[in-house]
């Protein structure tokens, strides 16, 4: 199966139903104790990690590669890093993950862009955009 899609929206809906059941809910009025919140958060994280690792291993096998490179904000998550490291060892592929401090989310780039606009710093109009630019690895 070459389907590597994953919907966080579906998972968020499942958490919502676990908290309040189906239907319209005023989440501000819900009283959820700290233990339940912690359990829900841990379960959410475990589900995401399990899915991402399984799909990553399947992609490595399907593409017949021996190295997986993981980046982005989610790559800073310690549980995901540990699970991917264990999977790489078990399935015998190399894993490359940047240090957590370099695993940033795209929101950071958006914030930097907004700050540059706020300061009046714009790219020149004749900047040549190359969306298909190849990386040299």
Write down the H helix ranges in 64-119: 78-91, 106-118
DSSP SS3 for 95: strand
> Taking 70 as the threshold, does the pLDDT of residue 31 lie above it?
yes
> Taking 90 as the threshold, does the pLDDT of residue 88 lie above it?
yes
Residue 95 · residue 85 · CB < 8 Å: yes
> Taking 80 as the threshold, does the pLDDT of residue 107 lie above it?
no
Q: What is the pTM of this model?
A: 0.70
Domain ranges of the chain: 8-24+35-118
């Amino acid at each position: 199966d070459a389907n590597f899609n994953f919907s966080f929206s579906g998972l968020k809906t499942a958490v919502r139903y676990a908290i309040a059941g189906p239907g319209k809910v005023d989440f501000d009025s819900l009283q959820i104790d700290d233990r339940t919140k912690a359990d829900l958060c841990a379960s959410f994280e475990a589900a995401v990690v399990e899915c991402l690792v399984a799909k990553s291993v399947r992609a490595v096998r399907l593409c017949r590669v021996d190295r997986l490179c993981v980046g982005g904000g989610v790559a800073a998550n310690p549980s995901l890093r540990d699970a991917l490291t264990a999977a790489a060892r078990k399935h015998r592929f190399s894993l490359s993950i940047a240090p957590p401090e370099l695993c940033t989310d795209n929101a950071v780039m958006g914030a930097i862009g907004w700050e540059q606009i706020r300061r009046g710093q714009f790219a020149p109009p004749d900047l040549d955009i190359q969306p298909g630019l190849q990386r040299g690895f």
